[in-house]
Amino acid sequence: MKSENDFGGFPSIEEYLKYLWFTMHHSDDPNRQAWAFSVRCYLDESGTHDQSPYTVVAGLCLNRNSFISLGKLWNELLRDMQIKPPVHMKEFGRPNGRLGYLTDAQRYLLFANITAIINSHKVYSIAATMDQKQFKEICRLHPKKEMSSYGMCFVLCAYINHKQAEYKKYSHNIAFLMSEISEHKGQILATHAEMKECQKTNPFHMGSISFDDPINVPALQAADIIAWGVRKRLMEESFNQGFEYIEKIFDENHLEYPYLEEHFLGISQALMKYRK
């Protein structure tokens, strides 16, 4: 059984995150630690079940120093508030959620601090969204376009990163880290492989992809909160009962785009050429 202080066998969350950064990106060169050389993207999903009106893939981009600093401050906050990680939005349900015992005031304090940590560390937050009703209609009209809504949102996140990298004149690829417990991991791996193959002729800053347990990586917990907040906004639900501060994540350096039918058809056709 994992203890509270067990970070993948490392003595601290900071040491584990340094190790993870190095293994993900194969570089510990201090000259590659600024935004212009080392931004990485941390994503999670929300609303991928059949009953949800929207699919969301969202998260944040961090450089090395911010990735490590965010992780350290995140765990210190949870320790000070006596909250056992990870922070996962579905666990706040009352009365049976693991974190359902927190009062509205405690939630408010938690997410006020979490929002401050995210906004002070992120290069930008990012979200791709898909209207499920529209997606099902597209699939009905174009049944041979074999892409899931989750896979398509991942593609759009990669494309948003690509356009941002071009704008910032960033010449390196952007790596991804996602939750290893995602039920859609197989879809992401297949889509990523197709995009890497496609990139041989059409480069668009697609880096490696890795998976880890969110309990070890606070950036993935942050991605879960961002994805949850994006879907809540799409559904025009109020941020209340202590969740008010989450909405403020989207006030600063936030990139969010919905899928349109022409995006679906163009990207699906492009990627299917590379499907083995």
**Mean pLDDT for the stretch of residues 41-57:** 85
Q: Label residue 68 exposed, middle or buried (CB < 10 Å: 0-12, 13-18, 19+).
A: buried
**275 or 195: whose pLDDT is higher?**
195
Q: Label residue 90 exposed, middle or buried (CB < 10 Å: 0-12, 13-18, 19+).
A: exposed
Q: Is 273 a residue whose pLDDT tops 60?
A: no
pLDDT above 90 coverage of the chain, percent? 53
**Mean pLDDT for the stretch of residues 179-203:** 84
Q: What pLDDT score was predicted for residue 34?
A: 40
Query: What sign results for the dihedral spanned by CA atoms 214, 215, 217, 221?
Result: positive
**Mean pLDDT for the stretch of residues 13-32:** 58
Q: Most confidently modeled of 138-142, 161-165, 188-192?
A: 161-165
In whole angstroms, give the CA distance from residue 60 to residue 36: 16
In whole angstroms, give the CA distance from residue 12 to residue 116: 23
Question: Residue 7 carries which DSSP code?
Answer: B
**Mean pLDDT for the stretch of residues 172-183:** 88
**146 or 139: whose pLDDT is higher?**
139
Q: Is 154 a residue whose pLDDT tops 60?
A: yes
If you search the block for the tokens 């496609």, which residue do you land on? 198
- Go through the domains of the chain in sequence order and give each one's CATH number: 13-77+111-272 (3.30.420.10)
pLDDT band at residue 92 using 50, 70 and 90 as cut-offs: very high
